[in-house]
Chain A
Amino acid sequence: MRFGIVVFPGSNCDHDAYHAVKEVLGADAVLLWHKDRTLQGADVVVLPGGFSYGDYLRCGAIARFSPVMDEVISHARRGGKVLGICNGFQVLTEAGLLPGALLQNASRKFVCREVPLEVLNAGTAFTRKYRRGERIRIPVAHGDGNYFIDEEGLKRLEGEGRVVMRYLENPNGALHDIAGIVNDAGNVMGLMPHPERASEKLLGSDDGLRMFESLLG
């Protein structure tokens, strides 16, 4: 099981994710440069947090057209697992791999703090090491995390159990307190909170580590 962490110009949580997977979890991991046209055999692709391409135009809009994204999209269409964290979540919505969009926080403020979350679906490949209804603490750090989707899409997400995590204290105005979702096939997940920043007790919480553990199968 190999993790591939994509490095876009402006990614700043790539090494945190690499550390969590490689050093804390002890799994095989490689960094994937955005201009590469190979995933180097990665089974799980992580799109990390940051400000890819300076967030120009819209968050994730330009990163979505990086050469490596063609490979990521093909990987996802083959059923390969893709985890988008924060900016990675924004890239996944821009790429059409996840529905909806992430708007500016309703407060207009950048929020950077640990938030309580509820795990709503512990049956996904990303959350199988959690319990349904479990409350966990993971930090958020974003200015544009306000999840938006049209009414029909929202009903579908809720009805199909695809809202995987919900904020217990909504930091950004997201509809239905949505913190993370999966696609309909269940192999692509996006979330605004940063599990890699909660992967060791030393960091204040290790509630995020189980997301990477879940992916080990």
Chain B
Amino acid sequence: MLARVFVTLKPGVLDPAGKAVEGGLHSLGYSEVGSVRLGKYIELQVEASDPAKARARVEEMCQKLLANTVVENYRVEVG
């Protein structure tokens, strides 16, 4: 089963890399871009009998390792 994890910085946490990309887009003329926030996308192949169980396990992995919940939020998609 495929699990997809999106890790993003919490609102209010400074994102210097996102700012750099934002500046790059502005210099390309994409003036409609307000702000850019960079995050991480993680794919996991998980063995599980059903999606709910897979999700519960992956959420646990996010809490323990994949995200630092002091500064990051995460979202899990399964299947």
* Tally of contact residues, A, Cβ under 8 A: 21
Q: Which residue in A57, A100, A107, A149 is a CB contact (below 8 Å) of B65? A: A57
Residues of A near B16 (CB, < 8 A) are: 103-108, 173
Interface residues of B in 21-79 (CB under 8 A from A): 65-66, 68, 70-71
- Residues in B whose Cβ lies below 8 Å from that of A104: 16-17
Q: Evaluate whether A103 and B14 lie within 8 angstroms (CB atoms) in the complex, with A93-B70, A108-B20 already known.
A: yes
A-B pair number, CB within 8 angstroms: 37
State the interface size on chain B (CB cutoff 8 A). Answer: 11
Q: Is the interface of A mostly helix, strand, loop or mixed?
A: loop
**Is A52 close to B, CB under 8 A?**
no
Task: Give the contacting residue for B68; candidates A58, A99, A105, A106; CB below 8 A.
Answer: A58
User: Is A148 a contact of B65 with CB atoms below 8 Å?
Assistant: no
- B68 engages A148 (CB within 8 Å): no
CB–CB A148/B66 < 8 A: no
CA–CA, A208 and B76, complex, Å = 45
In the bound complex, do residue B65 and residue A65 qualify as a contact, i.e. CB atoms below 8 Å apart? yes
Q: Which residues of B contact A58 (CB under 8 A)?
A: 68
Residue from B14, B65, B68 within 8 A of A173 (CB atoms): B14
User: In chain A between 82 and 135, which residues have their CB closer than 8 angstroms to a CB of chain B?
Assistant: 93-94, 99-101, 103-108
Tell me whether A106 and B70 are in contact (CB under 8 A).
Answer: no
A153 closest partner in B (C-beta): B70
- Expressed in whole angstroms, the minimum distance between the Cβ of B60 and any Cβ of chain A is 14
Q: State in angstroms the CA–CA spacing of A208 and B27 once bound together.
A: 44
Taking a contact as CB atoms closer than 8 A, the residue among B13, B65, B66 that contacts A103 in the complex is B13
How far is the CB of A157 from the nearest CB of chain B, in Å? Answer: 14
A146 contacts the other chain (Cβ, under 8 Å)? yes
A100 to chain B minimum Cβ distance, whole angstroms, is 7
Q: List 23 A-B contacts (CB under 8 A).
A: A65-B65, A93-B70, A94-B68, A100-B70, A101-B70, A103-B13, A103-B71, A104-B16, A104-B17, A105-B16, A106-B16, A107-B16, A108-B16, A108-B17, A108-B20, A148-B13, A148-B14, A148-B70, A148-B71, A149-B70, A150-B70, A173-B14, A173-B16
Residues of B within 8 A of A (CB): 13-14, 16-17, 19-20, 65-66, 68, 70-71
What 8 additional pairs, Cβ within 8 angstroms, besides A58-B68, A61-B68, A148-B13? A61-B65, A65-B65, A103-B14, A103-B71, A108-B16, A148-B14, A148-B71, A173-B16
A binding-site residues for B, Cβ under 8 Å: 57-58, 61-62, 65, 93-94, 99-101, 103-108, 146, 148-150, 173
